[in-house]
Amino acid sequence: MNHFIDNVRPTPEKKALLILDGHSSHKSYEALELAKKRSVVLFCLPAHCTHRLQPLDVAFLNPSINIIIKASTQWLKQNPGRTVTIYQVASLFNKAYEKTATLKLH
């Protein structure tokens, strides 16, 4: 909680929302009191459901990981004997980002 508060710096005029999973290790009376005192609004998702409910996991991260794996596999086939290094990661990530970070209006 302290790390979050130090980095986000919420104020009474500009509260911060912290979304937590419902795991018992993330809940304590001290953390709840600190959040209330320091203008942090806590939103607790049900335990053991975050893989279904966390929007970034469902809509962005999981699809991105799958695209990165496919792109890495394709790169490795096109570059036999080489390994993916930090120099290829940005390009591989960019492919995934372009496909998953789009706004779709219905």
Mean pLDDT split into 10-residue runs, the chain, 106 residues: 93 93 76 93 80 69 85 92 90 83 62
DSSP 8: H
Write down the pLDDT at residue 104.
63
Examine residue 106 and state whether it is found in any structural domain, yes or no: no
Instruction: Look up the domain containing 39 and give its range.
Output: 2-48
Domain termination site, one of 48, 63, 84: 48
Domain termination site, one of 30, 48, 66: 48
Examine residue 31 and state whether it is found in any structural domain, yes or no: yes
Looking at the 3D structure of the chain, how many domains does it have? 2
Phi, psi of 19 (to 5 degrees): -95, 125
Write down the pLDDT at residue 51.
66
The answer to whether residues 60 and 90 belong to one domain is: yes
**Of how many residues is the chain composed?**
106
The answer to whether residues 66 and 28 belong to one domain is: no
Instruction: Quote the strand ranges of the chain, DSSP E.
Output: 16-20, 40-44
Asked whether 28 and 14 are in contact (CB, 8 A), the reply is no
Examine residue 93 and state whether it is found in any structural domain, yes or no: yes
Number of Cβ within a 10 Å radius of residue 24: 7
pTM above 0.85, yes or no: no
Examine residue 44 and state whether it is found in any structural domain, yes or no: yes
The answer to whether residues 73 and 87 belong to one domain is: yes
